[in-house]
């Protein structure tokens, strides 16, 4: 089942703002229904690819900011893909600020496979809310605003300014969203000292700290071979070459998955690789030509590489075992994120003491 769900009670327990704003932390343990209603309203805005309604999402967030009494602006670096930037001015705006980031877009949803309409914001009798984006990451985006709403109404004011950014295009790599924002003069003016980004929405009484992030690799493998009649058996067809490639990849994947199953490594420590598309054959209006072996076949993979995995070794694996030229295979590899070792404890950074 594709349903994403969060517990309504869990939302309240998670609505916290981090200690950095004033060297203290405040957690909210109980909420009225209004925060839940606002969350469900956000879920009802269809921001799924390939045609996200960014405009409606931006207007909703700007209205929330006005209601809370926060400064807000709409920035548009790419036409039709607005960035919403909300600011809570601190007692000393000259200090490096806190940036809380979220994204407005969500991945597509196959409505017919959901128990409830993924864009209805349905809440069942147990307080579970169903919707595309309920976890990734509209819940976190609303938690930021609800935490600020509560703190502000209680008379609290942060020492340093807090900015909340809502960016588009995250699910497609962030090129037209966060990347554009970070490269703009508007971002430089924020004087960001620390940024808190996407994490896990949960109802537990502790908070998970992530010190690093797996790199996102997009791998496409293309196989070529002699075309032939569907009745003829011969070696070296495109489909055979691609099948050999898939076998090598899934052997590697099974070894990684087994370490996860056995508890030897956590999800963040294994290389995750999943086949996301297959393309081959000669299409017809009613399907495919069934008596022709294609001359080309292609497969795409989503690969997530942990910070401590050697990238040279993995690239060698791809070049020599997954897509060797000797089997008429070629590949393209797009790096959506840099391969880094994780958070730093360099004393020159704003969060150094917090990371030690």
- Pick the catalytic residue from 4, 123, 169, 170: 170
Q: Which residue in 279, 287, 290, 282 sits closest to 231, CA to CA?
A: 290
Tokens of 174: 């962030």
* Whole-number Å distance between alpha carbons of 249 and 262: 20
CB atoms within 10 A of CB 289: 12
- Pick the catalytic residue from 105, 146, 169, 213: 105
- Whether 197 is catalytic is no
Question: Is the distance from CB of 161 to CB of 90 less than 8 angstroms?
Answer: yes
Question: Is the distance from CB of 166 to CB of 104 less than 8 angstroms?
Answer: yes
Q: Which residue in 290, 260, 287 sits closest to 273, CA to CA?
A: 260
* Whole-number Å distance between alpha carbons of 131 and 108: 11
Grouping H, G, I as helix, E, B as strand and the rest as coil, residue 304 is strand
* Whole-number Å distance between alpha carbons of 89 and 162: 7
Residues in CB range of 238: below 8 A, 6 or more apart: 223, 224, 225, 227, 280, 293, 294, 295, 296, 297, 328
- Where is 221: in which H helix or E strand? strand 215-224
Is 136 annotated to bind ligand? yes
* Whole-number Å distance between alpha carbons of 207 and 112: 35
Is 163 annotated to bind ligand? no
Is 2 annotated to bind ligand? no
* Whole-number Å distance between alpha carbons of 206 and 147: 16
- Whether 170 is catalytic is yes
* Whole-number Å distance between alpha carbons of 62 and 145: 11
Residues in CB range of 64: below 8 A, 6 or more apart: 38, 145
Is 317 annotated to bind ligand? no
Q: Residues annotated as binding site for Zn(2+)? A: 103, 136, 171, 198
Q: Residues annotated as binding site? A: 103, 136, 171, 198
Tell me which residues are annotated as active site.
Answer: 105, 170
């Amino acid at each position: 089942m594709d349903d994403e769900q969060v517990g309504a009670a869990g939302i309240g327990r998670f609505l916290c703002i981090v200690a950095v704003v004033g060297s203290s932390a405040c957690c909210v343990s109980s909420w009225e229904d209004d925060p839940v209603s606002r969350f469900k309203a956000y879920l009802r805005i269809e921001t799924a690819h390939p045609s996200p309604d960014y405009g409606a999402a931006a207007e909703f967030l700007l209205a929330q900011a006005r209601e809370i009494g926060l400064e807000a602006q709409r920035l548009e670096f790419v036409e039709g893909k607005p960035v919403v930037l909300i600011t809570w001015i601190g007692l000393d705006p000259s200090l490096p600020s806190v940036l809380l980031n979220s994204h407005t877009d969500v991945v597509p949803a196959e409505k017919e496979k959901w128990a409830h309409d993924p864009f209805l914001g349905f809440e069942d009798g147990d307080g579970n809310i169903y919707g595309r984006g309920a976890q990734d990451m509209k819940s976190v985006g609303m938690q930021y605003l609800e935490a600020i709403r509560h703190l502000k109404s209680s008379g609290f004011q942060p020492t340093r300014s807090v900015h909340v950014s809502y960016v588009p295009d995250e699910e497609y790599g962030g090129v037209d969203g966060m990347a554009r924002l970070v490269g703009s003069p508007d971002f430089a003016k924020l004087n960001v000292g620390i940024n808190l980004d996407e994490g896990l929405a949960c109802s537990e009484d502790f908070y998970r700290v992530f010190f690093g992030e797996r790199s996102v690799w997009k791998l496409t493998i293309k196989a070529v071979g002699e075309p032939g009649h569907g009745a003829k058996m011969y070696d070296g067809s495109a489909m055979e070459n691609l099948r050999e490639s898939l076998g090598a990849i899934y052997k590697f994947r099974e070894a990684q998955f087994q370490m996860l199953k056995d508890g030897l490594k956590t999800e963040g420590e294994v290389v995750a690789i999943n086949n996301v598309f297959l393309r081959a054959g000669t299409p017809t209006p009613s399907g495919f030509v069934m008596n022709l072996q294609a001359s080309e076949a292609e497969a795409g993979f989503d690969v997530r590489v942990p910070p401590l995995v050697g990238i040279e070794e993995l690239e060698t694996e791809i070049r020599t075992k997954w897509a060797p030229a000797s089997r008429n295979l070629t590949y393209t590899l797009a790096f959506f994120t840099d391969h880094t070792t994780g958070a730093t404890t360099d004393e020159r950074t704003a969060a150094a003491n917090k990371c030690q």
